[in-house]
Structure 1
């Protein structure tokens, strides 16, 4: 039996679409949590949360290009980086979570505020970390 990753996308069209992406990776690998905003955004505040942590700390928090280290949860210190160093000019708010563990499984939410607009959720990603040897699957569910 061979494992093959595949992609399933179910798209329901409503007036405002929100996507939840499910990403599965193997323990010890890096996970990319994708999130995108407008490329012309200014005065950007970006934060990634993991609601099931039940703390006020964040996975990552950036304001006007500055990393807010004092607001980051200890579980993520030294393991999260922006996927694209030009995030403030191209709208790619994706992050890389390095060396994932089984405890990293859960839902991650990307919030941003820009152009003098209120904070809004841009993306929700369900991360499932599998033990070595398991198959993995990426599923987009848009509603």
Structure 2
């Protein structure tokens, strides 16, 4: 089989063109948790910006948590989340704006979006909350659940990990 150099070059250029636009897409993933446990909703922005402002919203209605100029704020937080939400403030400088919701309730199920202001970036997570089945658990299952904080992250999470890798490939394409 003979491969034309021009065809190969066009293919590479097409891939590079697509990769250039992956950086500011909206990522959607699913996280599952159980009533009474906790869930971590991830939000990672791969560009370092000083004093970044981000907002976490539930179904685009309720204010879950704000990060204003690099500092966490629960000042305008909806009362349903009072005392149950935790951010990792030491990670903000690394572009990690993930949020932990503790003591999950069935009413917490829904879509949570992290909006990073002054960029076109948002990262959304569908949170599914279930009642823990009353079955006998082995000690290894209990240990595994404690390590995961009762959260199962779907394969879509891999997409979030691939974006930084793909952003390193882009300069090779230019």
Distance 1:136 1:61, change over 3 A: closer
Runs of 4+ in structure 1 displaced over 6 angstroms?
Answer: none
C-alpha separation in 2, matches of 1:97 and 1:137: 14
1: CA distance, partners of 2:41 / 2:31: 8
Structure number with higher relative contact order (C-alpha < 8 Å, ≥ 6 residues apart): 1
Query: Paired residue for 1:30, among 38, 60, 66?
Result: 38
Q: Which residue of 1 aligns with 2:79?
A: 74
Secondary structure of the corresponding residue to residue 109 of structure 1: strand
Structure 1 or 2, whichever has the larger Rg, is: 2
Q: Structure 1 residues 90-99 or 66-75, which shifts more?
A: 66-75
1:101 to 86, 89, 105: 105
Structure 2 distance, partners of 1:78, 1:126, is 21
Distance in 1 of aligned mates of 2:70 and 2:98: 14
Number of the residue aligned with 1:5? none
Counterpart in 2 of 1:132? 132
Provide the aligned C-alpha RMSD in A.
Answer: 2.5
Cα distance change of structure 1 residues 91 and 132 upon mapping to structure 2, 3 Å threshold? same
2:122 alignment counterpart: 122
Indicate the structure with greater helix content: 2
Matches of 2:68 and 2:99 in 1, distance apart?
15
The verdict on how the C-alpha distance between 1:112 and 1:77 changes in structure 2, with shifts beyond 3 A counting, is same
Structure 1: which 5+ runs fail to align? 1-12
Q: What stretches of structure 2 of length at least 5 have no aligned partner?
A: 1-17, 135-149, 160-174
Query: Per residue, is there more strand in 1 or in 2?
Result: 1
Cα deviation for residue 89 of structure 1 reads: 1.4
Aligned equivalent of 1:85: 89
